[in-house]
């Protein structure tokens, strides 16, 4: 029997700038075991995800994964262009931790009310690779908010941040300072792929990054951890 899995999120789920964790997740399962549906939109905040759940509940899945909050966490950091993001994503208020948690809670409440799916909330990938840095600490703080929503709404919590933190500790990465990904930098990655024929992993290696291509979007190692956390937490026979 095929399990219908809906994966909800932002650019990490859209996978234009990240290695595709949906593809890696499908490879972890036997052929025909899962049918994956992608609901990822670049730049989305939790509020944006809440506005586009109609498509998810219209074809109710068996399992729903939610990976959202990276942009909410980034908006708490100095140097993030908050006003531009508010205009681009049509946000009715300035991003904040409280609004993020409220929006995520509303996402889960609607999914629980209108589907019978097993729901899993992933904690955030680590921002940057300095665990003591402000970016990583922001992703940790928002991951704790996600854990609180999972407890309140009685859904599964999938510890991605914890897995990635452990991976970074073992790797002893270079202490490269976090840089906010500008539109020009993102386009630069696409140019390297299209013109120079460099893979995302090659770009990541050239920059000395362990799990990401640009401190935010995932390389194969980072995306594999996303897939493994979903598989082990929701799909494996013993889960």
Does domain 3-235 fall under CATH 3.40.50.1110? My reply is yes
- What digits encode the pLDDT tens for the residues 40-87? 999 999 999 999 999 999 999 999 999 999 999 999 999 899 999 999
Say if residues 96 and 189 touch (Cβ distance below 8 Å): no
Residue 152: closest CA among 96, 197, 109: 109
User: In angstroms, what CA-CA distances link 108 with 21, 119, 158, 176, 194?
Assistant: 22, 8, 14, 36, 38
Residue spans per domain, the chain: 3-235
Total residues found in the chain within this entry: 239
Say if residues 80 and 125 touch (Cβ distance below 8 Å): no
pTM of the predicted model, to two decimals?
0.93
For the residues of 19-64, what is the DSSP string, one character each? --HHHHHHHHS-TTSEEEEEEE-TT--HHHHHHT-HHHHHS--SEE
Residue 8 is given by DSSP the state E
- What digits encode the pLDDT tens for the residues 193-232? 766 667 888 888 888 999 999 999 999 999 999 999 999 9
């Amino acid at each position: 029997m095929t399990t219908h899995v809906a994966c909800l999120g932002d650019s990490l789920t859209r996978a234009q700038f990240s290695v595709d964790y949906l593809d890696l997740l499908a490879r972890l399962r036997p052929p025909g075991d899962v049918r994956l549906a992608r609901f990822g939109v670049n730049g989305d905040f939790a509020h944006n995800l809440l506005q586009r759940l109609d498509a998810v509940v219209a074809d109710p899945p068996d399992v729903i994964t939610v990976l959202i909050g990276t942009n909410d966490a980034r908006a708490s950091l100095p140097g993030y262009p908050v006003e531009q993001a508010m205009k681009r994503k049509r946000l009715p208020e300035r991003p904040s931790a409280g609004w993020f948690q409220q929006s995520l809670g509303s996402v889960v409440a609607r999914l629980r009310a209108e589907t019978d799916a097993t729901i899993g909330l992933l904690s955030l990938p680590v921002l940057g690779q300095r665990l003591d840095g402000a970016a990583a600490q922001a992703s940790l703080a928002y991951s704790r908010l996600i854990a609180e929503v999972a407890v309140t709404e009685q859904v599964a919590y999938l510890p991605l941040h914890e897995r990635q933190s452990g991976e970074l500790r073992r790797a002893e990465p270079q202490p490269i300072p976090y840089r906010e990904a500008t539109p020009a930098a993102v386009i630069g990655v696409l140019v390297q792929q299209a013109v120079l024929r460099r893979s995302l992993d090659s770009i990541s290696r050239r920059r000395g990054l362990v799990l990401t291509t640009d401190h935010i979007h995932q390389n194969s190692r980072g995306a594999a951890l996303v897939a493994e956390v979903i598989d082990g937490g929701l799909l494996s026979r013993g889960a």
